[in-house]
């Protein structure tokens, strides 16, 4: 009886500590999603909202908010898990186990989608991005043009493949292709035009963010496996009086 009690206390302590780590993971998810949404501290002038405008894909921005929401949910249920472990309450532990399973599969699905999206980045940049640039760039204050200008200035590049992407546009090469070396009227001097296109910078930026999202979701999902196992063990040893 003493060994069983000692074993229950050990599982109780482990589950409590794992939930504390789970709580920190929830905080981490919120921080990472805000980081991706706003961009690194030194690059707030270009973020996932601009990227979503460039790719004409609102799911990037929505994905950040979903990730942020998942972090808040994890924080809430980590607290429930800690309470269930501390009180040895079967009802709380059962509810906790159910929610962890749902979160586990949701996060695995998110990680798979991030991997699929990452694999399609090169295809998009090769086949669609240039056509989209030539169709949607207006040298104006619309969200797409501003996002392209911001990216070109940030990464010192021009167009998707290079300056030739703007050859067919009425107003020619935008001032953002010169970065900060623009004339007073906002135009470029040929000698100052960035020679490289933005394809590789866009690919690296997309890959970096999708990798962060995927790795974070997989890491949290692995922790959830341990949480489910210890929740079941503790629930089996919980006192019948909680029913």
pLDDT tens per residue, range 148-162: 888 888 888 888 888
Look up the pTM and report it.
0.65
Q: What confidence score (pLDDT) does residue 60 get?
A: 66
Q: What confidence score (pLDDT) does residue 182 get?
A: 53
Q: What confidence score (pLDDT) does residue 1 get?
A: 45
Q: Which residues in the chain show pLDDT less than 70? A: 1-5, 7, 36, 39-52, 55-61, 118-120, 139-140, 170-171, 179-189, 191, 238-243
Q: What confidence score (pLDDT) does residue 2 get?
A: 46
First to last CA, the chain: 22
Which helix (H) or strand (E) segment holds residue 119: the answer is helix 90-127
Q: What confidence score (pLDDT) does residue 42 get?
A: 45
Tokens standing for 131?
Answer: 């056509």
Q: What confidence score (pLDDT) does residue 39 get?
A: 60
Count Cβ neighbours within 10 Å for each residue of 90-125 and write b for 16 or more, e otherwise. bebbbebbebbeebbeebeebbebbeebbeebeebb
Give the C-alpha separation, 222 to 211, whole Å.
Answer: 16
Q: What confidence score (pLDDT) does residue 243 get?
A: 45
Give the C-alpha separation, 231 to 66, whole Å.
Answer: 26
- In sequence order, which residues have a C-beta less than 8 Å from that of residue 97 and are 6 or more positions away? 228, 231, 232, 235
């Amino acid at each position: 009886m003493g060994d069983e009690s000692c074993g229950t206390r050990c599982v109780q302590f482990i589950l409590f500590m794992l939930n504390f780590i789970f709580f920190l993971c929830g905080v981490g998810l919120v921080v990472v999603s805000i980081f991706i949404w706003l961009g690194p501290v030194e690059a707030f002038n270009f973020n996932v909202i601009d990227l979503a405008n460039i790719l004409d894909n609102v799911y990037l921005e929505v994905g950040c908010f979903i990730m942020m929401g998942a972090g808040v949910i994890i924080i809430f249920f980590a607290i429930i898990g800690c309470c269930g472990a501390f009180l040895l309450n079967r009802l709380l532990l059962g509810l906790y186990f159910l929610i962890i399973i749902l979160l586990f599969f949701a996060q695995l699905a998110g990680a798979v989608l991030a991997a699929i999206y990452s694999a399609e980045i090169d295809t998009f940049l090769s086949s669609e991005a240039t056509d989209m640039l030539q169709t949607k760039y207006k040298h104006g204050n619309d969200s797409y043009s501003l996002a392209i200008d911001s990216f070109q200035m940030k990464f010192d590049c021009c167009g998707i493949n290079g300056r030739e992407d703007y050859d067919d546009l009425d107003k020619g090469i935008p001032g953002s292709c010169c970065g900060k070396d623009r004339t007073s009227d906002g135009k470029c001097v040929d000698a100052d035009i960035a020679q490289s296109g933005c394809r590789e910078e866009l690919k690296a930026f997309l890959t970096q963010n999708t990798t962060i999202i995927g790795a974070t979701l997989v890491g949290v999902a692995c922790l959830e496996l341990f949480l489910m196992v210890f929740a079941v063990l503790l629930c089996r040893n919980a006192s019948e009086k909680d029913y």
